[in-house]
Structure 1
Amino acid sequence: MKGEKIEFTDFNFKLAIIEELMYIKELIQPKFDIFEFVDSYKEREIDVEKEGYKAIPEAIEYFKELKIDKKFATEITQIYQDGGNDIYMNITPYWDGEDDSFNIEVYDDIKHFPNLKKMTLFSNDPKVYENLKLQGIDAVPL
């Protein structure tokens, strides 16, 4: 990556951004596909059918290492967290969405995204929504 990278505080916030930039807007290429990834992964055999009910560690590591250029920051106008998002299906292919695995815990990363105005989130904490509203973001629970 040539430009400056965004340093994230919250990994789940980063995943929500990757969903927008890689899977929705297609600005980050190539799109990560867990099945293509395991076919080419040489360090060990990953059995998606057996392991896909929990986060696949190598997929998590891929996204942790993925650098996001600051030039994309202004492209983010909304975040929509949903259990069926591609990002989550490529980390935990058979995730049922019934736990808080991908809940954003810290919202400090908002500072990187000046055009972020709308968020749909997994969180059920009313304080999260109050704080986001104070920052000019229309946020609602899923």
Structure 2
Amino acid sequence: MFQDFNFKLVVVEKLMYGDRTLTPAFDIAEALPAADPWQYAYDRGLAYQVLPEARAYFTALEIAPDLLATVEELVLDGGLTVYQHCAPVWDGEDDLFDVGSLADLPLLPNLRRVLGSEFLSGSLQAELTSRGIEAD
């Protein structure tokens, strides 16, 4: 359904960790054989990367169109909870979670505003504006 994994994560943040309407909430600690996600990532050379377990979960996660229709606002920020569950060892200082495409916008028919749009490229900011979506 989603073409841009990182855009999907922003939507998941809103629905799963913000609105709590997409359930159950994913917890990376529950998906790993080790209790400490930080240690797990370091021991396997996965620091500053999306853990395979998280990528598989979020890639396969289906979100019903009626739930997607509830999204009116998205927030782009390096401190999103979903990022902590994807890459427990990540400091926000690289492009790991940069949104590269807005091809998935049609999935969100009621999206009206994107906060933190300065994290998008100029062309993506312009695309939001051209679609009548407020880019703050």
Q: Same fold (TM over 0.5)?
A: yes
Output one character per residue of 1:41-98: Cα deviation in whole Å (capped at 9) or x when no partner. Answer: xxxxx81454443211111111001111111022101110111111100000121111
Partner of 1:101: 96
Task: Give the percent of matched residue pairs that are identical in Structure 1 and Structure 2.
Answer: 35
- Structure 1 residue runs without a partner (length 5+): 1-6, 41-45
Partner secondary structure for residue 62 of structure 1: helix
Distance 1:30 1:39 in 2: 19
Distance 1:26 1:77 in 2: 15
TM-score (norm 1): 0.82
Partner of 1:133: 129
Could you say what the CA RMSD is over the residues aligned between the two structures, in angstroms?
1.9
Question: Is the counterpart of residue 10 in structure 1 residue 4 in structure 2?
Answer: yes
Distance 1:62 1:52 in 2: 18
TM-score (norm 2): 0.85
Distance 1:127 1:70 in 2: 27
Output one character per residue of 1:91-133: Cα deviation in whole Å (capped at 9) or x when no partner. Answer: 001211111111111111111112101112322x222212210
